[in-house]
Amino acid sequence: MTARMAEKRAIITVSGLVQGIGFRPFIYRLATRRGLRGHVKNLGDAGVRIDVDGDESAIKLLLSDLVEEKIPLAVYNKIDIDWRDVGEGRIGFIIDTSDIGANEVKHSLIPPDVSICPECVEEMQDPGDRHYLYPFTCCALCGPRFTTIVDLPYDRERTTMIDFPLCDECDREFNDPGDRRFNAQTICDPTCGPRMTLYHPDGSIVQGGDPIAVAARLLNEGSIVAVKGIGGIHLATKTTDDGPLHVLRTRRRKPGKPFAVMSPDLENVQKYAIVSETEREQLTSLARPIVALRKREPFPLSPLISPGLDTVGVMLPYSGIHHLILYHVDEPALVMTSANYPGEPMFVSNEDAFKKLEGVADYLLLHNRRIHARCDDSVLRVIDDQPLFLRRSRGYVPLPIGLPFDSRGNVVAVGPELTSTAAILKEDKCYLTQHLGDIESPESLDFLSVAIDHLVKLLRVGVPDIVACDLHPNFLSRTVAAELADVSGTDIVEVQHHHAHLASLMADAGVKPDDEIVGIVCDGYGYGSDGSPWGGEVLMGGYEGFSRRGHLEPQPMPGGDLCALRYGRMFQGILYSELPKDRLAQVLYESCIEGFQRGGKEIEAVFEQLEKNFNTPYTTSTGRLLDAVSCLLGASHLRTYEGEGPMKLEALAARGRLRGGIPVDVERDGGDLVLMTSKMVGALLTMRAKHRAEDMAYTFQHALADGLAEMAVTVAKEQGIDAIGFTGGVANNDMITRVIHRRVNEE
């Protein structure tokens, strides 16, 4: 038998995260090392095909190398091998042109944006390297991906880098198999790549040398600078001086919302924050999210960064732009907050920056690369040593979440109203869009539609089989659902808000399709199955349905949604039936007057509303309950950002100790368990004579968590269910989550 006759051909298709991460150069190196012939190419569905000829044993070694030497970013969902007889002789191994129309795999992934690697940072800091101080330096293993991708397969001509043809030096690296930038689609250098420019607000260019160095000098002097980065535009200013922060808050209409900060390295972070090992791992991960860290006391940065909170949101630089700004700045951290107004989508174009930041930014540091998919920073915190997403976006999107079941078709879900994210269900994976913000304006509605369309295009979903939306009849997102349903000819499936929370929790935990759990679901608001506002629920159920088994005591909301803005109203409603009117009025005037926008006149108007039961829906919302307690204890009175009352109450409680005096009284109302919260709030009035506000905040949160856990454990025992979960916005509260966790485990 000749050597030629002993050879075989193998067509290997790989699905997973294999495009945009240097995978084809990796395969090239493996194949040439094993003396194989053929090619590797990207496919139109985000997969990769490897077509090789050679000795069968060498091909098997290649397959072994593929797994054992897997590059860090790669994720393999499936590897299919089709063995064939060797064809006509081929010479060498090449990276072939991508096949746009090929759709051979079902499980491939689209790469997220990846933080700049240490090697590229080192080159930016090397005066002898041509990438010295160049902010767009990247290689096959790092740099923007999702925000630049227009379509698949992932090649330069289908990204926003098509506007920047490679120069001779970059082209040489791109075609050199031994180079770190071999076949890297977004590489560039100062000769051929994007450029930063520093502008005055009127559009004229700031002179004086390197725009980043000049911007850093202006930041050192206290200016507010708009910075265009990877997925959008931030506003930056110094963190050690109250003056610039006060100006930024005034101009941006963010009187109290916490600002995220960015530090050059962990050493600087540890000067002002406490960092656990798990938090360190998250901060330094390739995704580089914002991580909520406990402040170090005394806190050396300005208190205006996160007023009234015991945490600060911190991230490390994830692009060359950020590294170079921080390289030139004499600060342990810079504020790096989204430039958009609250509730609006992050804006990405230079034109929008000049128009929308007039009177806000002193200078604008912008570049000329298009951002195709805007993408805000991800935010998480660590609770019980487990990372918990507050916002899943840059660095993670569009990687999917694996599901413990296969969907019955392609599903598009348009998401809720506040802090929204849409999703696409395809086979056994759920693909989330980037963070969309609050869907309350035409701009945000357009962003929702564009984000869904882009993900549908990249995933090759085609016409959805099912369109899902929130049960609430008046959410703006329903208009997008209606348009999708009209185009696809399918019906809209309405999903109750807290059932969606329950199902999401189950999917995250890998609960099987036929299993049920008991779920504690606590947040600010969700449209209940009975049409009333829910938010403190104990549900039993699975993916296909649920039953309500317990909840917080329904409380009056005089003025409806005004209670979510003016916390005194909610407190007044809760104690209206517990105290004589004159006694309640005394408490309101003495302790809660700041929780009413119009002071005493509003208090009297609310009494009249309660007496006549006019515009006073009843709610089981945990968020509104915590708002009321926050007002009584002086933590927060009027909402200036979503979740402000509960967040400041949690910060107050972090300095407290457990005391007695708050009853945990669970009663039955028909078949439902009800935690009687009026008595709990009323007990705080008695405690005030002997205890600090910090201790009362701690004790109230502890009692609330205890009561919720008691209801869930009771339902689980009665129904023979051995799994209990906790989800919803209130699950972001570290103390409440830990108390529920401990109580459930004890039972």
At 562-601, the pLDDT tens digits run 999 999 999 999 999 999 999 999 999 999 999 999 999 9
What was the pLDDT predicted at 110?
87
Kindly report the average pLDDT of the chain as a whole number.
Answer: 94
Say how far apart CA 615 and CA 192 lie, in whole Å.
Answer: 63
What was the pLDDT predicted at 45?
76
For the stretch 321-334, pLDDT in tens is 999 999 999 999 99
Q: How confident is the model at residue 109 (pLDDT cuts 50, 70, 90)?
A: confident
468 and 565 co-located in one domain: no
What was the pLDDT predicted at 1?
43
What was the pLDDT predicted at 408?
84
Which stretches within 640-692 are classed as H helix?
644-653, 677-687
Say how far apart CA 95 and CA 39 lie, in whole Å.
Answer: 6
What was the pLDDT predicted at 103?
60
Q: How confident is the model at residue 466 (pLDDT cuts 50, 70, 90)?
A: very high
Say how far apart CA 675 and CA 707 lie, in whole Å.
Answer: 6
CATH number at residue 419: 3.30.420.360
713 and 592 co-located in one domain: yes
Across the strands, what pairs with 493? Answer: 468
Within a domain: 170: no
Say how far apart CA 34 and CA 511 lie, in whole Å.
Answer: 43
CATH number at residue 602: 3.30.420.40
335 and 464 co-located in one domain: no
CATH number at residue 19: 3.30.70.100
Q: What is the count of structural domains for the chain?
A: 4
* 733 pLDDT higher than 70: yes
Contact 49, 1 (CB under 8 A): no
Averaged pLDDT, 128-138: 98
What was the pLDDT predicted at 5?
58
Residue 110 DSSP label: P
What was the pLDDT predicted at 139?
95
Question: Residue 40 corresponds to which amino acid?
Answer: V
Averaged pLDDT, 448-477: 94
* 105 pLDDT higher than 80: no
Nearest to 534 by CA among 525, 547, 545: 525
Say how far apart CA 533 and CA 548 lie, in whole Å.
Answer: 14
What was the pLDDT predicted at 613?
94
Contact 112, 287 (CB under 8 A): yes
Say how far apart CA 482 and CA 469 lie, in whole Å.
Answer: 9
Collapse the DSSP code of 632 into the 3-class scheme (helix H, G, I; strand E, B; otherwise coil) and give the result. helix
What was the pLDDT predicted at 102?
60
Within a domain: 114: no
For the stretch 212-267, pLDDT in tens is 999 999 999 999 999 999 999 999 999 999 999 999 999 998 999 999 999 999 99
Say how far apart CA 387 and CA 389 lie, in whole Å.
Answer: 7
Distances (CA, A) of 475 to 418, 422, 482, 680: 10, 14, 12, 33
Query: What does the DSSP assignment read for 330-355?
Result: -SS-EEEEE-SPTTSPPP--HHHHHH
Enumerate residues 6+ apart whose C-beta is below 8 A from 128.
Answer: none
Collapse the DSSP code of 673 into the 3-class scheme (helix H, G, I; strand E, B; otherwise coil) and give the result. strand
Enumerate residues 6+ apart whose C-beta is below 8 A from 175.
Answer: 182, 183
Distances (CA, A) of 602 to 323, 359, 423, 588: 51, 34, 42, 11
Say how far apart CA 174 and CA 469 lie, in whole Å.
Answer: 45
Contact 389, 362 (CB under 8 A): no
426 and 330 co-located in one domain: no
Averaged pLDDT, 66-82: 90
Within a domain: 27: yes
361 and 448 co-located in one domain: no
Within a domain: 676: yes
Enumerate residues 6+ apart whose C-beta is below 8 A from 609.
Answer: 558, 559, 615, 616
Within a domain: 360: yes
Within a domain: 13: yes
Within a domain: 651: yes
Phi and psi at residue 27, to the nearest 5° = -65, -40
Across the strands, what pairs with 235? Answer: 226, 337
* 523 pLDDT higher than 70: yes
Within a domain: 168: no
| Cα dihedral 145, 148, 149, 155 in deg (nearest 10) | -80
404 and 358 co-located in one domain: no
For the stretch 330-346, pLDDT in tens is 999 999 999 988 778 88
* 4 pLDDT higher than 60: no
The upper half-sphere exposure of residue 696, i.e. CA atoms within 13 Å in the direction of its Cβ, equals 22
The upper half-sphere exposure of residue 522, i.e. CA atoms within 13 Å in the direction of its Cβ, equals 28
What was the pLDDT predicted at 106?
56
Distances (CA, A) of 567 to 310, 558, 560, 575: 21, 11, 12, 13
Residue 494 CA from chain centroid, whole number: 24
* 71 pLDDT higher than 90: no
The upper half-sphere exposure of residue 484, i.e. CA atoms within 13 Å in the direction of its Cβ, equals 29
Contact 239, 301 (CB under 8 A): yes
28 and 81 co-located in one domain: yes
Say how far apart CA 393 and CA 416 lie, in whole Å.
Answer: 16
Residue 530 DSSP label: T
What residue numbers bound the domain in which 471 lies?
400-495
Say how far apart CA 243 and CA 364 lie, in whole Å.
Answer: 19
Contact 198, 41 (CB under 8 A): no
**pLDDT more than 70, % of the chain:** 98
